[in-house]
Chain A
Amino acid sequence: MDSALTIILICSLVAVSGALLGPFLLLRRMSLMTDAISHSILFGIVIGFLLFNTLDSLPMILAASAIGILTVVLTEMLFKTGLVREDAAIGMVFPALFSIGVIIISRFLSNVHIDIDTALVGEVIWAPFDTIPFLGGEVARGLVITGAIALVNLAFVGVFYKELKLVTFDSALASSLGFWSGGLTFALMTLVSVTAVGAFDAVGAVLLVGFMIVPAAAAYLLTERLSVMIGLSLVIGVLGCVIGYYAALAIDTSISGMMVTVLGVIFALVLIFAPQRGLLAGMLRRRRQQWEFAARLLVIHVLNHEGQPNEGDELALATVNQHLNWSPAYAEQIVQRARQRGWLDVASGRLLALTPDGRQIARETLA
């Protein structure tokens, strides 16, 4: 198989797993658990290696995943003591496990090929050359592993979609209906661990964390529906793979690093330009509300002073700004807006006058 296609496929399969699990982690505020797990499985890989003397076998993956689960369990136990909060519990557990892993590697396994540096960031560029016999042909090992993991994740989310949704959005209801939400969370974290270990070798921990967190966060700004959020995460993840791959090739740099960078850029674009929840949309909305508020203030002012003896001063186009404490330019803009909306007219003698619409708006606002 073409090596470019293999690399993109492997990364896309990790993106599939990330899109399936990431949204649930994000909504349950467990995003940083992926980061913790991806670091502490280094210890798991060391244990797996010491036990099975190989870096690539099913028992190895299971042993390493067990350490990922241990991270979750220890964090939970520490949190349950009531002595530290959850964030602090995460921040203490994974560095400890990671440290044990690093010490074992540098003390006892320095002649074995476990490069901590590569393990963390990963270099997917070698993945196409590491093949195993599969269904009568030679297939990249990373492809088989990440494909199998993506399938497992797909099956899990497919079968338990309703339950996951319920536990995520209303865990109290889920418990009262008799769902074992602890068990579902545990299964979710187990899958995160297995995915992390599987991806660890092929693409590295950073890319995995990127696929778990970033597409879900971007999708969260674009939709209100969980199913759409998962779909969008998938699209963003795969987009990151494809663009990242060719960008990395173009300037000859780390593929994993570039893919995560592209994901970051996509997130930044979504953060700024998302139709409803983006920064720009928010700014425009606030600006519009400001205009709207000022225009309403103006029509109320006119309503209060029309027909009064001092209306010649209060409502004159030239002096109205002083009574509302606005700058002349700002007052002019607001008058313009109110006229555009059909609330105001400029009557004879350059006085502001209400239209029937404007009168109604002013009354409604005051009511």
Chain B
Amino acid sequence: MDIGTLIRDIFLDYTLRTVVLGSVILGITSGVLGCFALLRRQSMLGDALSHAALPGICIAFLLAGENKSPFVLLMGAAAAAWIGAIIITVITRSTRIKEDAAMGVVLVSFFGFGYVILSLLQSSAGAGQAGLDKYLFGRASSMLQSDVETMVLLSAISLGLVVAFFKEFKLLAFNPEYLRTIGFSFRRIDILLTTLIVISIVIGLQTVGVVLMSAMLTAPAAAARQWTNKLSHMIVIAAGIGAVSGALGAVISASAQRVPTGPTIVIALTLITLFSLAFGSARGLVWTLVRTSRTRSAIQHHTLAVPDIEPVSGGD
């Protein structure tokens, strides 16, 4: 496929347009929210909660009756992921189990339970055809216009809330004690941010699936971090990186044969992240190396220039 056809297809071809749009929306949303998760050292929360969403999808499928619209299933996913987040908080706050193990316990128990229901559904109701398994690994190519509309709506809500609560989230990430002292409820802001992360996971389930969601939340933020030291810039850059990798992944997988979209997006994202780690203008490894070697040689020159301070033996 040459570039001209490709560009024309993005605007005219229904499937490609849907997939590209969906992936770009996911990239933007998870890029923005991932910044806060990264700064709060909660990058693996995305992984835990996306696994925890599975039983919610299955239960929603069971209860939904005739109306098995993606929106209903995604609300089920959100509810389960949210409960998972609450349980993680309860475990870490009231026992000595650390966050990583709490996430692990919730991740695997919820996922196991979800799989129990999923296999019940598969043996009885033919849920395979209903596309339940597409949430496991994501099947962007089967996205419909209505899926994308749902995603746009959810994304607009969560980005709007990020703008509205930007100052609070910023404090939560950098100085939660101060947030508390000036009278905000730490818990409420924390829950709001977690809820938004859950929404971004829900958006991602259909596109990249459960397993790859952690990369969508982590990598754009980690890449953006290397280009700037300012949160607002970091968020915009992360959104941009998320969007570009989403679009790249969708287009590449559409133009090559038998290349799944989700993993392609993640590979694109990983390459951009590696580039940022090396060349990021704020902290990139290459610039650090250059700076270090310059300083080193400067010190060497200075050392040579300084006259020998030791008194020369046998002098006057």
Given known contacts A31-B100, A32-B100, A106-B259, A264 and B264 CB-to-CB distance under 8 angstroms: no
A135 interfacial contact with B, CB 8 Å: no
- Alpha-carbon distance between A118 and B313 when the two chains are bound, in angstroms: 81
For the complex of A and B, list the 4 residue pairs with the smallest distance between their C-beta atoms, beginning with the closest. Answer: A264-B109, A260-B112, A99-B263, A95-B215
Interface segment, one of A188-196, A248-256, A326-334:
A248-256
Of B95, B114, B118, B219, which is within 8 A of A92 by CB?
B219
Complex contact A83–B285 (CB within 8 A) = yes
Given known contacts A29-B98, A95-B266, A264-B110, A88 and B104 CB-to-CB distance under 8 angstroms: no
Complex contact A90–B266 (CB within 8 A) = no
Output the nearest chain A residue to B112 by Cβ-Cβ distance: A260
Contacts of A32 in B (CB 8 A): 44, 47, 100, 103-104
Complex contact A210–B47 (CB within 8 A) = no
Complex contact A257–B105 (CB within 8 A) = no
10 further A-B pairs in the complex, CB-CB below 8 A; given A34-B104, A95-B212, A220-B97? A26-B97, A87-B100, A95-B266, A99-B270, A103-B259, A121-B115, A264-B105, A264-B112, A277-B95, A279-B90
CB-defined A-B contacts under 8 Å, sample of 23: A31-B100, A31-B103, A35-B104, A35-B107, A39-B211, A85-B38, A87-B42, A87-B43, A95-B214, A98-B211, A102-B263, A103-B264, A117-B133, A221-B95, A251-B120, A252-B123, A253-B120, A260-B111, A260-B115, A264-B113, A268-B109, A271-B95, A282-B94
A347 interfacial contact with B, CB 8 Å: no
Contacts of A91 in B (CB 8 A): 43-44, 46-47, 214-215, 217-219
Given known contacts A32-B100, A95-B211, A214 and B226 CB-to-CB distance under 8 angstroms: no
Given known contacts A87-B44, A91-B43, A92-B215, A29 and B101 CB-to-CB distance under 8 angstroms: yes
Contacts of A99 in B (CB 8 A): 212, 215, 262-264, 266-267, 270
B8 interfacial contact with A, CB 8 Å: no
- Alpha-carbon distance between A251 and B110 when the two chains are bound, in angstroms: 18
Interface residue ranges of B254-287 to A (CB < 8 Å): 256-260, 262-264, 266-267, 270, 273, 277, 280, 283, 285
B116 interfacial contact with A, CB 8 Å: yes
Complex contact A107–B258 (CB within 8 A) = yes
Complex contact B119–A253 (CB within 8 A) = yes
A362 interfacial contact with B, CB 8 Å: no
* Interface residues, chain A, with chain B CB atoms under 8 Å away: 26, 29-32, 34-35, 39, 78, 81, 83-85, 87-88, 90-92, 94-96, 98-100, 102-103, 106-107, 110, 116-117, 120-121, 206-207, 209-210, 213-214, 216-217, 220-221, 248, 251-254, 256-261, 263-265, 267-268, 271, 277, 279, 282
B108 interfacial contact with A, CB 8 Å: yes
Output the nearest chain A residue to B282 by Cβ-Cβ distance: A83
Complex contact A88–B267 (CB within 8 A) = no
Complex contact A209–B270 (CB within 8 A) = no
* Interface residues, chain B, with chain A CB atoms under 8 Å away: 38, 41-44, 46-47, 90-91, 94-98, 100-105, 107-120, 123, 133, 136-137, 211-212, 214-215, 217-219, 221-222, 225-226, 256-260, 262-264, 266-267, 270, 273, 277, 280, 283, 285
Mostly, the B contact residues are: helix
- Alpha-carbon distance between A110 and B42 when the two chains are bound, in angstroms: 36
Contacts of A213 in B (CB 8 A): 101, 104-105, 108
Complex contact B98–A256 (CB within 8 A) = no
Q: B33 CB to closest chain A CB, in angstroms?
A: 13
Of A78, A102, A267, which is within 8 A of B260 by CB?
A102
Complex contact B258–A110 (CB within 8 A) = yes
- Alpha-carbon distance between A314 and B254 when the two chains are bound, in angstroms: 83
Complex contact A221–B104 (CB within 8 A) = no
Q: B116 CB to closest chain A CB, in angstroms?
A: 4
Complex contact B108–A257 (CB within 8 A) = no
Output the nearest chain B residue to A240 by Cβ-Cβ distance: B112
Output the nearest chain B residue to A85 by Cβ-Cβ distance: B41
- Alpha-carbon distance between A3 and B105 when the two chains are bound, in angstroms: 29
- Alpha-carbon distance between A120 and B54 when the two chains are bound, in angstroms: 14
Q: A120 CB to closest chain B CB, in angstroms?
A: 8
- Alpha-carbon distance between A200 and B270 when the two chains are bound, in angstroms: 26
Contacts of A256 in B (CB 8 A): 112, 115
Contacts of B263 in A (CB 8 A): 98-100, 102-103
Complex contact A257–B113 (CB within 8 A) = yes
Output the nearest chain A residue to B267 by Cβ-Cβ distance: A99
Complex contact B115–A254 (CB within 8 A) = yes
Contacts of A39 in B (CB 8 A): 211
Given known contacts A81-B277, A221-B97, A214 and B105 CB-to-CB distance under 8 angstroms: yes
- Alpha-carbon distance between A88 and B215 when the two chains are bound, in angstroms: 9
Output the nearest chain B residue to A211 by Cβ-Cβ distance: B108
Complex contact A103–B260 (CB within 8 A) = yes
Output the nearest chain A residue to B124 by Cβ-Cβ distance: A252
The listed residue with most B CB atoms (<10 A of its CB), out of A34, A92, A220, is A92
- Alpha-carbon distance between A87 and B102 when the two chains are bound, in angstroms: 14
Complex contact A96–B266 (CB within 8 A) = yes
Contacts of B214 in A (CB 8 A): 91, 94-95
- Alpha-carbon distance between A261 and B44 when the two chains are bound, in angstroms: 21
- Alpha-carbon distance between A19 and B256 when the two chains are bound, in angstroms: 45
Complex contact A96–B267 (CB within 8 A) = yes
Of B108, B267, B270, B273, which is within 8 A of A206 by CB?
B108
